[in-house]
Amino acid sequence: MRANKLYANIDKCVFAAEEIKVLGCFASSAGVRADPGKFKAIAAWPTPRSQKDLPQWLGLANYLHKYSAGYAGLAPPWSDLLKKDADWCWERQHQDAFDAIEASLQRAPVLALPDESKPFSVVCDASDYAIGCALLQDDAGGRERVVSYQSRQLKAADRNYPVHDKELLAMNYALVKF
């Protein structure tokens, strides 16, 4: 390391650990999982009561979106509440979306570590409000494992596309993300 002018603080080094914390995630030979403390924070978070509360909760949920299949498809009911001059009116649809995202994040899988020597597969989907994709790869046992989930809400113009164009948009999104 010194020959390349790289230095390490021995107090910050971890040796022979089965799992290490890196950038708010835990990495091991089994894959990458989110910090359980973040899931506890999501579960303990009270229902938003104002326009100020919702973006705070969404910030944490968005941070964990890569562990949730179809995350962007669950969030559209909040679009109107997030607008600058919107009146705050928390309704059943908002609570259902809140609960669905919370449940989705509680079921978050351990994401597989990508193996560049093996082929990947991509699954894409589109709905009226969102597009999403998953990067998959078979593990040593032949089981298909998720490497990453990605999704986003459709822009207003994208919502006017016919179904097959939305599916193509999802494929393009997957190619850009992965």
Query: Does 93 share its domain with 134?
Result: no
Q: What's the whole-model pTM score? A: 0.75
Give the dihedral of Cα atoms 81, 85, 89, 91; nearest 10 deg. Answer: -20
C-alpha distances in Å from residue 3, one per residue of 8, 11, 59, 154: 13, 21, 42, 50
Query: Does 47 share its domain with 79?
Result: yes
- Dump strand ranges (E) for the chain: 19-22, 25-28, 31-34, 121-126, 130-138, 144-153
Query: Does 131 share its domain with 81?
Result: no
Query: Does 58 share its domain with 85?
Result: yes
Determine the 3-state secondary structure of 164 from DSSP: helix
* Domain final residue, candidates 82, 106, 130: 106
Q: Decide: 122 and 178 in contact? Cβ < 8 Å.
A: yes
DSSP 8-state secondary structure symbol assigned to residue 111: B
* Domain final residue, candidates 55, 72, 106: 106
Q: Which helix (H) or strand (E) holds 44?
A: helix 36-44
The pLDDT of residue 52 is 86
Is 160 inside a domain boundary?
Answer: yes
Query: Does 38 share its domain with 62?
Result: yes
Is 5 inside a domain boundary?
Answer: no
Determine the 3-state secondary structure of 148 from DSSP: strand
Query: Does 23 share its domain with 67?
Result: yes
- The arithmetic mean of pLDDT across residues 15-33, rounded, is 88
Band (1; pLDDT cuts 50, 70, 90): confident
Write out the residue range of the structural domain in which residue 66 sits: 19-106
Query: Does 91 share its domain with 148?
Result: no
pLDDT tens digits, 112-121 = 999 999 999 9
Determine the 3-state secondary structure of 147 from DSSP: strand
Query: Across all residues in the chain, what is the average pLDDT?
Result: 90
Query: Does 146 share its domain with 84?
Result: no
Query: Does 95 share its domain with 137?
Result: no
Look at 164 and 109; give whichever has higher pLDDT. Answer: 164
Is 10 inside a domain boundary?
Answer: no
